[in-house]
Structure 1
Amino acid sequence: MLITKLTLKNWRNFKKLEVPFRNRTYIIGANATGKSNLLDVFRFLRDICKPAGGGLQKAIDDRGGIKKLRCLQARTDIEVRIDVELSEEADEEPIWTYSLGFKPEGKGAQRILITREVVTHKGKNVISRPTALDRRDDARLTQTALEQINSNVKFREVADFFQEATYLHLVPQLLKHAEINGRTAEGDPFGQGLMQRIAKTSQKTREAKLRRIQTALSKAVPQFSELKFELDKVTGQPHLMASYQHWRNHGAWQREDQFSDGTLRLIGLLWMLQENTNLLLLEEPELSLNDAIVSHIPLMIDRILRQQKSTGRQVIITTHSEALLRNPLDTNAILLLETSPDGTTARLATDDEQMMMDAGLSPADVMLPKARPAEIDQLGLFT
């Protein structure tokens, strides 16, 4: 199952937005146009569905409250609304739709109340709120049906889908220096828990995944030889060990806290691509990586998607990378975010841009320059 369409109202940068998604979608745009905020919609829905410590109110609080979530351009209509369509394939009619609207009640404690929660399955209503019971007891409107196992029975498939969304923006320093801050952020967005994730995987599966990663690293990292998993004999902490060709016969071994940032990010990316989550959100996977490696990221993603086609895997990527966008990507899979006085907008390639890419130009030639700030040439005059 895939997210095939997203409609937003008053969500962060976006006063109004309607965009399609495919099996893999590349989101581009200048800094601060809202690429991360667009991915955060799916993290928000995941956080609502979390079985422990989730729910609408916490998801809002974790983002700084409704004032931080609501678009600054929202003046008279202050409702925040998210509509999602889910289909089996990118170009098919939706099987499920989920619509959620909420806003502050406007009095007293300023509770955040649901203004709309509608679920449909193959065009037929499954749930529609507020109900008469909700109106008699508005405390019920502080919780979504999505987060309640007694209420989402008829659309548990949707809740499970959102709950499995995985976001990755691996920060190597947090993984290398876990002792500085032992607390891992909820959902582990920065890859701090990568070692624990690897450790919890069954031995047979773990070894198979690490063998594939080892093969990739041997092509991408000079002098890399071998990758293995081990538990510290004293502390029991999980570690990755890598050996490199060396003047000594048996080479030299390094632990993950000695890996280069790029090597760690590549390992994290390759591991997450092998996970069986329905929706993978990748934030700028090109960071710390050589352009030659970055240029192969779309190929790796496409290959994984083909191998996991039966699971309906979907990957959504934000990027600034020219090397990544040099690939002959599906031109309908590139979303360009652009700023306007009324909030950020998003669009696919125009007919003219499609023609240029069909003629052989890459998205890096046609689409990426449109993400270039208008006055960027003046930056070099900074004093």
Structure 2
Amino acid sequence: MLTKLRLERFKNFKDAELILGALTLLVGTNASGKSNIRDAFRFLHGISRNYNLAEIFGEKWIEGGVLQWRGIRGGTREVTFINESTFALAVSFTLAKNDSSQEATYRIEVNPGASGKAPIVIAESLTIAGQSDSVFEAQSHQESGQNNFSVKVGGVTPYDPILSYTNSRPVLSQIAAAIPSPSVRETALAAMSALSSMRFLDLSPDAMRLPSLPGQTVLGDRGENLSSVLQEICENPESKQALLQWVQELTPMDAKDFEFPADFTGKILLQLIEENGQKTSAISASDGTLRFLAMIAALLGQEPARFYFFEELDNGIHPTRLHLLLELIERKVSQGTIQIVATTHSPQLLRLLSPQSLEYASLTYRFWDKPDAHIKRIVDIPEARRVINEQDLARLHESGWLEDAVDFLEDEETNQ
């Protein structure tokens, strides 16, 4: 489980930290930085996929001209805070070992390049809480004109000539592939694994309405392959029954079954069958119904990711159904196998959060006269717990109290 994300000079965050729980809800006004947090997670995910920096920032194509990876929004020109030459990201996660767990922290500092120069890693490290020596620590030699690193493993500089690190690719992936030390390689692989099983869902009704081939069981970021993912779920009677129950709860449809008719190319398209025999295909289903189905498919599929980032969780969802969606999400994350970060503009969703989830709801915000964005857990805002107990959190969000409270706090600190 990821426990913390630190952003230094990354996009509109000069220095900010996000504390993560099983469900982490991000609220804040437009342009406050919520989507930039998504970009930070995607950058780290790109490292776990063994991409070099140019591929992470740009795009990754494979044979046949297939786009495998979409780059980071804004590319290298807009990734650093104002006039800064480098940015750094640090992520902490639990590392299970011998029936116990430790907190590990991976940090990378990058110069994204300028004037046509390639991006390079400046510094990188992997540490474990309570251990004096880093698992590894790397420093670039770029200033001396060399395109490689000085790397210390366990506090000792490696001398094995087979190790040759390039600063165009994160050291973590290079160590995971080549370091001779089994314990170091094992820890590096664990760090890669912590960042590898990630999905970033920004669902598009148009993509979800497209037919897909049976066997395409990975839901695309925009909801591609929805029909074939649901078909796989329905092959398990228990999963199919759970899916039907959620559809009946979340929509006004009296759904009793699903069908997956094939077209002349062999691709299938979902049809929902109601008790009265009415059939509704994915083509004519409402946007909200499709979003529900895609989120259910992501959470109930045979091989769910360990980490999901949902953009605008409430988008297209009727307010009277939000509590059911939240119930499904909180039930799944309570099992300890899935972690979710989601953005929202919905006051209603805040009102419905369980006490456990409220602990990790965070506000992203900017002060009107300053360019940098900040992150603060709602319960860490002064007097927030007392005010929330006395008043409706949704009303506080609607009225702008959260932003006013942090603005007042900033004025007090400035005047001291």
CA distance in 2, matches of 1:126, 1:11: 25
CA shift, 1:202, in A, is 7.2
Describe the superposition over 1:8-34 as per-residue Cα deviations: whole angstroms up to 9, x where unpaired: 112112121122111111100011211
Structure-2 residue corresponding to 1:269: 295
Structure-2 residue corresponding to 1:129: 138
Structure-2 residue corresponding to 1:279: 307
Structure-2 residue corresponding to 1:96: 104
Contact 1:8–1:18 at 8 Å: present in 2 too?
yes
CA distance in 2, matches of 1:371, 1:280: 29
What TM-score, normalized by structure 2, do the two folds share? Answer: 0.75
Contact 1:33–1:337 at 8 Å: present in 2 too?
yes
Structure-2 residue corresponding to 1:336: 363
Structure-1 residue corresponding to 2:152: none
Structure-2 residue corresponding to 1:222: 252
Equivalenced residues, count: 350
CA shift, 1:57, in A, is 1.7
Show the 5 A alignment for 1:289-308.
Answer: 289-306=317-334, 308=335
CA distance in 2, matches of 1:99, 1:44: 12
Q: Structure 1's 370 and 197: CA in aligned 2 closer, same or farther, altered over 3 A?
A: same
CA shift, 1:318, in A, is 0.4
Describe the superposition over 1:249-307 as per-residue Cα deviations: whole angstroms up to 9, x where unpaired: xx12122112111110001111112243211111112111111111333222111122x
1:83 to 90, 94, 114: 90
Contact 1:291–1:323 at 8 Å: present in 2 too?
yes
SS of structure 2 residue aligned to 1:141: coil
CA distance in 1, matches of 2:219, 2:364: 26
CA shift, 1:210, in A, is 3.2
CA shift, 1:50, in A, is 1.9
CA distance in 1, matches of 2:376, 2:268: 44
CA distance in 1, matches of 2:251, 2:172: 45
Describe the superposition over 1:145-200 as per-residue Cα deviations: whole angstroms up to 9, x where unpaired: 23345147331112122111111121112222579xxxx9x99321123234445x
CA shift, 1:351, in A, is 3.2
Q: Structure 1's 335 and 68: CA in aligned 2 closer, same or farther, altered over 3 A?
A: same
CA shift, 1:353, in A, is 1.1
CA distance in 2, matches of 1:161, 1:120: 14
Where relative contact order (Cα < 8 A, 6+ residues apart) is larger, the structure is: 1
CA distance in 1, matches of 2:113, 2:177: 25
Contact 2:254–2:275 at 8 Å: present in 1 too?
yes
CA distance in 2, matches of 1:118, 1:319: 33
Structure-2 residue corresponding to 1:189: 221
Aligned-residue RMSD, C-alpha: 3.1
SS of structure 2 residue aligned to 1:18: strand
CA shift, 1:373, in A, is 8.7
Matched, 1:58 2:65: no
CA distance in 1, matches of 2:4, 2:296: 27
Q: Structure 1's 165 and 229: CA in aligned 2 closer, same or farther, altered over 3 A?
A: farther
Contact 2:312–2:344 at 8 Å: present in 1 too?
yes
Paired residue type of 2:139: P
Describe the superposition over 1:42-97 as per-residue Cα deviations: whole angstroms up to 9, x where unpaired: 1221122225xx332211122243112122x2x2x4211001111269xx985211
Structure-1 residue corresponding to 2:382: 351
After TM superposition, the structure 1 stretch with the greater mean CA deviation from structure 2, 223-232 or 162-171, is: 223-232
Structure-1 residue corresponding to 2:26: 27
What TM-score, normalized by structure 1, do the two folds share? Answer: 0.81
2:281 to 227, 249, 255: 255
Contact 1:85–1:94 at 8 Å: present in 2 too?
no
CA distance in 2, matches of 1:174, 1:244: 24
Structure-2 residue corresponding to 1:234: 264
Contact 1:30–1:373 at 8 Å: present in 2 too?
no
Paired residue type of 1:255: S
SS of structure 2 residue aligned to 1:147: helix
Paired residue type of 1:369: S
Q: Structure 1's 226 and 86: CA in aligned 2 closer, same or farther, altered over 3 A?
A: same
Paired residue type of 1:271: A
Contact 1:336–1:367 at 8 Å: present in 2 too?
no
2:125 to 101, 109, 118: 118
Unmatched 5+ residue regions in structure 2? Answer: 59-70, 149-164, 180-184, 405-416
Structure-1 residue corresponding to 2:67: none
CA distance in 2, matches of 1:129, 1:5: 22
Identity %, equivalent residues = 19
